[in-house]
Amino acid sequence: MSDTPSGSPKLTRRPEWTALEDHRKDALPQPDLRELFAADPGRAERYVVHVGDLRIDYSKHLITDETLALLQELATATDVSGLRDAMFRGEKINVTENRAVLHTALRAPRDAVIEVDGENVVPGVHAVLDKMAAFANRVRSGEWTGHTGKRIRNVVNIGIGGSDLGPAMAYEALRPFTARELTFRFVSNVDGADLHEATRDLDPAETLFIVASKTFTTIETITNATSARSWLLDGLGGDDKAVAKHFVALSTNAEKVADFGIDVDNMFEFWDWVGGRYSYDSAIGLSLMIAIGPDRFREMLDGFRIVDEHFRNAPAEANAPLIMGLLGIWYGNFHDAQSHAVLPYSHYLSKFTAYLQQLDMESNGKSVDRDGNPVEWQTGPVVWGTPGTNGQHAYYQLIHQGTKLIPADLIGFARPVAELGDELKAQHDLLMANLFAQGQALAFGKTAEEVRAEGVPEEQVPHRTFQGNHPTTTILATELTPSVLGQLVALYEHKVFVQGAVWNIDSFDQWGVELGKVLAKRVEPALTETFASAADAAGSVPGLDPSTAALVA
Ligand code: F6P
* DSSP secondary structure of 433-489: HHHHHHHHHHHH-B-HHHHHHTT--GGGHHHH-B-----EEEEEESS--HHHHHHHH
pLDDT digits (tens, 9 = 90+) for 366-402: 999 999 999 999 999 999 999 989 999 999 999 999 9
- Determine the Cα–Cα distance for residues 192 and 548; give it in Å rounded to an integer: 23
Q: Distance, CA 61 to ligand 1 centroid (Å)?
A: 35
Predicted confidence at residue 7, as pLDDT, reads: 59
Q: Which residues of the chain have pLDDT under 50?
A: 1-2
Predicted confidence at residue 5, as pLDDT, reads: 56
Q: Distance, CA 276 to ligand 1 centroid (Å)?
A: 6
241 tagged catalytic: no
Q: Which helix (H) or strand (E) holds 498?
A: helix 482-503
Q: Is the CB of 510 under 6 A from ligand 1?
A: yes
Neighbours of 329 (CB within 10 A): 23
Predicted confidence at residue 9, as pLDDT, reads: 75
Q: Which helix (H) or strand (E) holds 48?
A: strand 48-51
Q: Is the CB of 167 under 6 A from ligand 1?
A: no
Q: Distance, CA 513 to ligand 1 centroid (Å)?
A: 9
Q: What amino acid occupies position 386? A: T
Q: Are residues 213 and 163 in contact, defined by beta-carbon separation less than 8 angstroms? A: yes
**Which protein residue's CA is at the shortest distance from atom 3 of ligand 1?**
161
Among the listed residues 506, 505, 377, the one whose alpha carbon sits nearest the alpha carbon of residue 11: 377
Give the global pTM.
0.97
Q: Is the CB of 185 under 6 A from ligand 1?
A: no
Predicted confidence at residue 2, as pLDDT, reads: 45
73 tagged catalytic: no
pLDDT digits (tens, 9 = 90+) for 75-112: 999 999 999 999 999 999 999 999 999 999 999 999 99
Q: Is the CB of 251 under 6 A from ligand 1?
A: no
* Active-site option among 362, 366, 493, 495: 362
458 tagged catalytic: no
Among the listed residues 209, 221, 214, 277, the one whose alpha carbon sits nearest the alpha carbon of residue 250: 214
Neighbours of 418 (CB within 10 A): 8
ipTM: 0.98
Predicted confidence at residue 4, as pLDDT, reads: 60
* Active-site option among 181, 393, 454, 514: 393
